[in-house]
Every structure is written in C-alpha cells, then in structure tokens.
Amino acid sequence: MQFSKVIQVTRYLFKNSFVQNLAVTTYLYEIYAKRVSKSLDVVNGIVQIHFRGLDVEMNVDSLGVEPSFIEGTFEKREIEIFLSKLANYDLIVDVGANVGVYSLLALNSPHFQGSIVAYEPLLETFKILQRNVNKYQQTKTVSLVQKAVADTVGFIEIVNSQIPASVSIEKRQNLSEIRSSIAQIQVTTLDIELQESNFDLSRAFIKVDVEGAEPLVILGARGILTRIKPDLLLEVSKLNSENVGCTWNEAAQLLGENYSHCLIIGPRGISQSTLVYESIIQITSKSGIHTLFLSN
C-alpha cells in the first residue's frame, strides 16, 4: 500500500482520538503533506487547495496539521451539517476562522443570503483569510475582524512567527522564549462585539474552534447565549483545553442551562442527547476531539 493510502486510512481510523495528537502522528502527516505539496504550486509558503468547490489559500505548513484538506475530507460531517442548515440563518459568526473555510462555504452557497462576521487574531493568517474572502464576496456582507475572542477585553502578547496557523494563541505564547517577533493582539468578547453591532441575532449561527480555549469564548458570550440562544457548532477537547489551562465545568453549565439538544460528532460517529451539561462533562473526561452542534 502506498504511503499516502496508509496515512488516509490511519486518519480515518484514529480521527478525533488521542492518536491524532501524538508527535509521531504529526511527523507522519508532515511527511505526507510534503510529498503531496510537491505537486502543488507553492509561492512564498502559500499553497492553493481546491476544496469543496472552493480555491482556498493556506500556509503550506498547515497541510502537515490538516492533510485532510488535500483529501477533501476536512471536517466532513461537521461541514455537511453546517451546509444542511445554512438556509435557517441570517448571520454566521465564525470564531477562529483561520483561512475561512466555513465563511467561504457560506459565501459560496446559494442557500445563505445573510451576513458573516469572522474573527482571526493572527496577522499572517488574517491576510490569507482576507484574500480568500475577496475571491467569493459578491453581494453578501462580510466583516473580518483581527481579534481574539475570549471572556475578557484587552491585549495579549503572542508570537508572530511561522508556526502553523492551527497552533492556538496560548501555545504560541508558550513559544515566545524561542522566537524574537512578538505581536500585541486585541482580545474581545462576543457579548461586546455582537451587542454593539447592528446585526439581527435572532437567526444567528456561531462556530467556535479556537484550539482548546472554547470555554472562554462561551463565557464571554453569556448574555447572547442566555437571551438569543443561537445555534452553536463547538469543538470540545479535553487535551486541547488542558494545554491552554481551560476547564469546561462553568461553560458546560451555562450551555446546559440554555440548550436542550446536543448533536455529538466524535470518533465513534454521531449521537444525540438532550442532556447537554452531562454530555459535555462526559466528553471532557475522555481523550479525543468532539464537535457539538447545540440547538433548541
């Protein structure tokens, strides 16, 4: 079996499990990505991938973290759920937009005619996000915001380096001693950002994927989640949250008080629950990455 086939089968078998976070797994992904990227045009470290009908620019280093972009299987189940519900929304809030995959899918969909707000704090990734959005922005309103989203307002120092875009803000801070370029990044909360906007939040959808700091985003959106209860697509990972010093109990309680239905996408497939708090606590007691779709 070819090396690429081995990687693809391995990714399928161990998707969202602890194996995905092992150093040896990352090393193999990087080898795979380098092999595949030889057939791609790389300009100044940027590569263009054809993904779900979109031409998406990204840092070539990101392919070592997410070679599923090459395979076309990146977050397949999550994206299928997202696309199936797009017609229900007038506003998409993309927290941790990275290069903008979810925002671009909404922009390119005839079923979505609303507005998009996308948050990405890292300058180089933000520039790629801007270029990607400019390709597909036509009549729809898109606001791109270079800020981190958490539960407080202010500034944090992060490493402005060539570390792959998928590495979280907190992990980059931990690497500051070996990097010389430090950037000041503005931090905000969804309560402040969205309550001060003119957007109609009654038919809003919020996607949160910030590499473990999701509890902070949730706590910083307490007002919106309590009053509006928008649909949420939320990544939950015990390991990622522990790595950035976050705990889930308070955020899980807030979500449990305001949401009645939880669709759980995990290593063993898709399941459903009406016990939101209990489901999150159970998930965060195990290894692996899960994605939750919360609604009422």
Quick: pLDDT tens for 107-136. Answer: 999 999 999 999 999 999 999 999 999 999
Q: Give the number of domains in the chain.
A: 2
Reported as a pLDDT band with limits 50, 70 and 90, residue 15 is low
289 or 69, greater pLDDT? 289
- Of 91-95, 158-162, 171-175, 287-291, give the range with the top mean pLDDT: 91-95
Q: Say if residue 106 is in the same domain as residue 154.
A: yes
Quick: pLDDT tens for 167-179. Answer: 444 444 444 443 4
What gap in Å lies between CA 68 and CA 33, rounded to an integer?
Answer: 10
Reported as a pLDDT band with limits 50, 70 and 90, residue 295 is very high
Residue 7 pLDDT greater than 60, yes or no: no
Instruction: Give the pLDDT confidence score for residue 140 in this predicted structure.
Output: 87
Q: Say if residue 198 is in the same domain as residue 280.
A: yes
Instruction: Give the pLDDT confidence score for residue 177 in this predicted structure.
Output: 42
Domain boundary (29, 45, 71) is at: 71
Instruction: Say how far residue 107 (Cα) sits from the centre of its chain.
Output: 17
What gap in Å lies between CA 296 and CA 288, rounded to an integer?
Answer: 26
Which structural domain range is residue 276 located in?
Answer: 75-295
Domain boundary (16, 45, 71) is at: 71
Give the residue among 7, 105, 113, 121 at the shortest CA–CA distance from 54. Answer: 105
Q: State the CATH number of the domain containing residue 87.
A: 3.40.50.150
Q: Say if residue 3 is in the same domain as residue 28.
A: yes
Q: Say if residue 126 is in the same domain as residue 270.
A: yes
Task: Provide the token pair at 233.
Answer: 């697509």
- What is the rounded average pLDDT of the residues 160-164? 47
- Phi, psi at 248, each rounded to 5°: -100, -10
Q: Say if residue 34 is in the same domain as residue 174.
A: no
Instruction: Give the pLDDT confidence score for residue 33 in this predicted structure.
Output: 62
Residue 27 pLDDT greater than 50, yes or no: yes
Q: Say if residue 39 is in the same domain as residue 81.
A: no
Q: String of b and e for 194-211 (b: at least 16 CB within 10 Å)?
A: beeeebebeebbbbbbbb
Q: Say if residue 175 is in the same domain as residue 116.
A: yes
Quick: pLDDT tens for 194-248. Answer: 988 888 899 999 999 998 999 999 999 999 999 999 999 999 999 889 988 999 9
Contact present, 116 and 142 (Cβ < 8 Å): yes
Give the residue among 245, 248, 254 at the shortest CA–CA distance from 280. Answer: 248
Q: Say if residue 4 is in the same domain as residue 98.
A: no
Instruction: Give the pLDDT confidence score for residue 274 in this predicted structure.
Output: 97
228 or 23, greater pLDDT? 228
How many other C-beta atoms can be found within 10 angstroms of the C-beta atom of residue 285? 9
Q: Say if residue 44 is in the same domain as residue 108.
A: no
Residue 165 pLDDT greater than 90, yes or no: no
Q: Which secondary structure element, helix H or strand E, spans residue 252, and what is its range? A: helix 249-258
Average pLDDT along the chain:
84
Question: Checking phi first, is residue 227 left (phi over 0); if not, alpha (psi -120 to 50) or beta?
Answer: alpha
Residue 2 pLDDT greater than 70, yes or no: no
Give the residue among 240, 274, 272, 271 at the shortest CA–CA distance from 256. Answer: 274
Q: Say if residue 102 is in the same domain as residue 177.
A: yes
Domain boundary (71, 104, 127) is at: 71
Reported as a pLDDT band with limits 50, 70 and 90, residue 35 is low
Q: Say if residue 177 is in the same domain as residue 224.
A: yes
- Show the 3-state SS of 171-239: HHHHCHHHCCCEEEEEEECHHHHHHCCCCCHHHEEEEECCCCCHHHHHHCCHHHHHHCCCEEEEEEEHH
293 or 200, greater pLDDT? 293
Q: Say if residue 83 is in the same domain as residue 67.
A: no
